[in-house]
């Protein structure tokens, strides 16, 4: 076949083969394991009934054993041509089985026939699927095991190939020099075949033969030396399982030939077609003999009983009892009632002491819990005052007629909402603190931020920002619902946004393909609208100060939600800028703000311009994985625009002829947003209007957006005065922010 020499080397009929070395040989006396007047031993191997030596000593021919004298003068039990090593009443028989092999002695392929199994066509024996494995050894070898299973034909095989001996790994049968296959249940009457692909001519110098055999798992560990030396050790240990008859216990127990004797039970093994017998608990011996199961005297072995005193162990039929000394009562067992002094007065005193102890313990625990609860209440009250709870409550009382006000949550309410802040509900964490997902009593899903830091000197500012931000009601801004002031660090409660951050959707490749250009433009327009609202419509105006893609969340409809006001500033209307320590995220920071520490609303415009570039290119704002001159996305983008390479830096598959004009306009808008001087940048109001106009380009052909700033100003009308919305605070609080999936405007962290 195709130049290969397919050679059947050996056919081995095995009635049924079963598992390995019997670990628990029968402990009955020598004259109690076989039938009366029948040999009980052959050499050093015990032959228990239903096995037997000689006519009338075995159950049927399937269990007949020959006791033969070997060349070394020792007697060995055999089943046909197979040497029996051990027989267990628990249902196993250990045998020595020869390998089958195919060899090339240098002059061609030769076959060596060696009987390697039990040639018994009987369902009494099955090969042990738990203790044996089918093995083939060789570098030019494939082997088959065929037989019967559930009255049908069965076959399986494996292949072992290797080019040289150095490729072979010791201790593993993965197909290089050695392969193995697990054996399923109820396999009998097996035939082993081994073949060679190329007559071993390619590997003759180190592997002249191929072998196949069934072996006990724990006794075989492959070694590369077997490729040349296994032919010198052809006897392999394996295990058979055996059962009685061809029926299960349910039917066999009603038949006249049922073999389980007195004080025994019937068992249906998984790997077999018949049944087995076993002695009941408290009995030992051969359950296949009429009176083979004898009572075990548990009192003779301390390991078989659990009496508190071995001297007070009393053996009974199939069990034992324990007694107690005089004046004591109980069952005398270590795991039971043991033995207790049975004096009335002593019992009464003991009961009184026990009851008194229990009462004292309960009352002490009760008092401890009351004191602990009071301390907790006082601690919460102290935290509430320290965190400005009194001020916030007064402010809220003045806003009772407001449509939206912040709610003060209790510590218990948020503890219950987060299942005591269970770790499985963590949806974001970092140096700022931890954010949990929670469900309030009214079934609202919220995000609860538990921060790490607090600045007690800025409590009044913190309360003011909570009041202002909680009243912001814009569909593109994450809603602050309230706070809890009963903990050392205030807890902030926000609406929960389900789809994660824009950063994840842009930069995780498995998600970025799902965001079309239309969706990206929509997200950009909604984000710009939210920032424009904060700069122009909020009172007082708010500079976000940390605009970035990871602070833009997406809800179930992929609507943009601006989040994370942890570093934001509330700006009095009479100021246009504020001197403050630089805070923000590298890659998004306004260069002018970095140089002067002068914070204006144009700093948010710069950061938004970087987000536009992210949406266009799919690249991160700052990445040290890129070449040095491309690490800053803003600088790299400006360079590409200057060199007229816009469509080279756009994200793959983003450009189409239909959206080419939009892409150019958005790129031009981004370029204007990231100008070095803030006064040269458009306001967020202008940016929002221009993006909204671009979104309508496809819907209304008469709506166009110019490719330069002059045309944009013409379409928008008179250029807005950005200084009108710039703000300043001389001393303010910086609150940490939520990351990843949730957003926390600010907290007590400074």
Question: Which positions are catalytic?
Answer: 546
Number of other CB atoms surrounding residue 134 within 10 Å: 23
Asked whether 604 and 535 are in contact (CB, 8 A), the reply is yes
Cβ neighbours of residue 621 under 8 Å, at least 6 residues apart?
A: 548, 549, 585, 586, 587, 588, 610, 613, 614, 632, 633, 634
Phi then psi for residue 81, to 5 deg, are -100, 10
* DSSP calls for 378-393: HHHHHHHHHTTHHHHH
Q: Nearest 5 degrees, angle CA 206-CA 208-CA 209?
A: 125
Which residue intervals of 106-248 are DSSP H helices?
A: 226-229
CA distance linking residue 235 with residue 237, whole number of Å: 7
Distance of CA 498 to CAs 440, 448, 472, 553, 741, Å?
A: 16, 14, 20, 8, 8
Bond from prior residue into 252 cis (ω within 30 degrees of 0): no
The secondary structure element, H or E, covering residue 416 is helix 411-417
Which residue intervals of 176-238 are DSSP H helices?
A: 226-229
SS (H, E, C) 535-596: HHCCCCCEECCCCCHHHEEECCCCCEEECCCCCCEECCCCCCCEECCCCCCCCCCCHHHHHH
Supply 222's token pair. Answer: 């492959």
Distance of CA 71 to CAs 68, 83, 116, Å?
A: 10, 13, 19
From 745, 727, 729, select the one nearest 737 (Cα to Cα).
745
The reply, when asked if residue 450 is annotated as ligand binding, is yes
8-state DSSP, 467: H
Q: Nearest 5 degrees, angle CA 196-CA 199-CA 204?
A: 115
Asked whether 179 and 135 are in contact (CB, 8 A), the reply is yes
* DSSP calls for 644-694: T-HHHHSPTT---TTTHHHHHHHHHHHHHHT-SSGGGSPPHHHHHHHHHHH
CA distance linking residue 383 with residue 83, whole number of Å: 84
CA distance linking residue 235 with residue 231, whole number of Å: 10
CA distance linking residue 99 with residue 356, whole number of Å: 77
Binding site residues, as ranges? 450
Residues annotated within the binding site for ATP are 450
């Amino acid at each position: 076949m195709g130049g290969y020499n397919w050679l059947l080397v050996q056919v081995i009929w095995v009635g049924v083969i079963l598992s390995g070395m019997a670990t628990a040989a029968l402990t009955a006396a020598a004259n109690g394991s076989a039938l009366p007047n029948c040999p009980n031993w052959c050499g050093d191997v015990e032959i228990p009934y239903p096995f037997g030596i000689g006519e009338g000593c075995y159950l049927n021919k399937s269990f007949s054993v020959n006791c033969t004298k070997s060349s070394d003068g020792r007697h060995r039990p055999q089943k046909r041509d197979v040497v029996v090593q051990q027989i267990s009443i628990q249902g196993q028989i250990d045998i020595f089985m020869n390998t089958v092999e195919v060899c090339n002695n240098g002059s061609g392929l030769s076959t060596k026939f060696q009987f390697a199994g039990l040639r018994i066509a009987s369902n009494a024996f099955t090969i042990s699927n738990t203790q044996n494995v089918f093995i083939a050894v060789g570098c030019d070898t494939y082997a088959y095991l065929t037989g019967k299973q559930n009255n049908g034909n069965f076959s399986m095989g494996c292949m072992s190939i290797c080019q040289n001996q150095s490729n072979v790994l010791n201790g593993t049968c993965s197909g290089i020099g050695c392969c193995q296959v697990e054996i399923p249940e109820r396999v009998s009457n097996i035939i082993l075949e081994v073949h060679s692909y190329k007559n071993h001519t390619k590997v003759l110098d180190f592997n002249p033969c191929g072998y196949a055999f069934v072996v006990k798992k724990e006794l075989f560990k492959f070694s590369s030396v077997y490729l040349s030396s296994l032919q010198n050790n052809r006897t392999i240990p394996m295990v058979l399982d055996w059962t009685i008859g061809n029926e299960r216990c349910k039917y066999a127990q009603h038949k006249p030939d049922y073999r389980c004797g007195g004080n025994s039970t019937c068992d249906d093994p998984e790997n077999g077609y018949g049944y087995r017998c076993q002695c009941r608990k408290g009995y030992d011996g051969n359950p296949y003999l009429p009176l083979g199961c004898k009572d075990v005297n548990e009192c003779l072995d301390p390991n078989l009983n659990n009496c508190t005193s071995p001297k007070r162990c009393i053996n009974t039929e199939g069990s034992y009892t324990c007694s107690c000394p005089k004046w004591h009562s109980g069952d005398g067992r270590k795991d039971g009632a043991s033995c207790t002094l049975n004096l009335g007065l002593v019992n009464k005193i003991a009961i009184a002491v026990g009851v008194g102890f229990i009462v004292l313990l309960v009352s002490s625990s009760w008092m401890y819990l009351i004191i602990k609860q009071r301390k907790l209440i006082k601690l919460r009250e102290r935290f509430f005052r320290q965190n400005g709870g009194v001020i916030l409550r007064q402010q809220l009382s003045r806003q009772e007629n407001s449509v939206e006000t912040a709610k003060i949550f209790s510590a218990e309410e948020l503890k219950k909402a987060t299942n005591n802040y269970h770790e499985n509900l963590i949806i974001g964490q970092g140096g700022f603190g931890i954010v949990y997902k929670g469900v309030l009593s009214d079934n609202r899903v919220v995000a609860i931020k538990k921060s790490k830091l607090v600045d007690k000197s800025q409590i009044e500012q913190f309360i003011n920002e909570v009041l202002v931000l909680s009243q912001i009601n814009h569909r593109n801004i994450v809603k602050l619902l309230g706070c809890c002031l009963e903990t050392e660090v205030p807890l902030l409660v926000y609406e929960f946004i389900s789809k994660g951050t824009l950063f994840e959707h842009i930069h995780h490749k498995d998600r970025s393909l799902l965001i079309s250009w239309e969706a990206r433009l929509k997200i950009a327009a909604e984000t710009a609208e939210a920032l424009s609202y904060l700069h122009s419509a909020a009172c007082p105006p708010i500079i976000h100060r940390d605009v970035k893609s990871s602070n833009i969340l997406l809800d179930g409809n992929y609507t943009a939600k601006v989040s994370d006001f942890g570093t934001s500033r509330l700006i009095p209307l009479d100021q246009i800028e504020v001197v403050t320590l630089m805070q923000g995220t590298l890659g998004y920071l306004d260069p002018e703000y970095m140089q002067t520490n002068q914070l204006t609303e144009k700093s948010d415009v710069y950061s938004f311009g970087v987000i536009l570039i992210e949406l266009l290119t799919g690249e991160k704002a700052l990445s040290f994985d890129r070449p040095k001159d491309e690490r800053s996305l803003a600088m790299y983008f400006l360079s590409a625009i200057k060199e007229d390479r816009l469509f080279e830096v756009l994200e793959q598959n983003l450009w189409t002829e239909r959206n080419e004009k939009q892409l150019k306009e958005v790129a031009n808008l981004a370029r204007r947003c990231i100008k070095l001087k803030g006064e040269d940048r458009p306001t967020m109001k202008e940016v929002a209007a221009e993006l909204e106009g671009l979104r309508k380009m496809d819907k209304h052909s008469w709506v166009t957006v110019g490719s330069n700033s002059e045309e944009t100003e013409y379409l928008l009308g008179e250029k807005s005065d950005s200084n009108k919305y710039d703000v300043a605070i001389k001393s303010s609080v910086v609150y940490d922010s939520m990351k990843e999936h949730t957003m926390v405007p600010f907290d007590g962290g400074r």
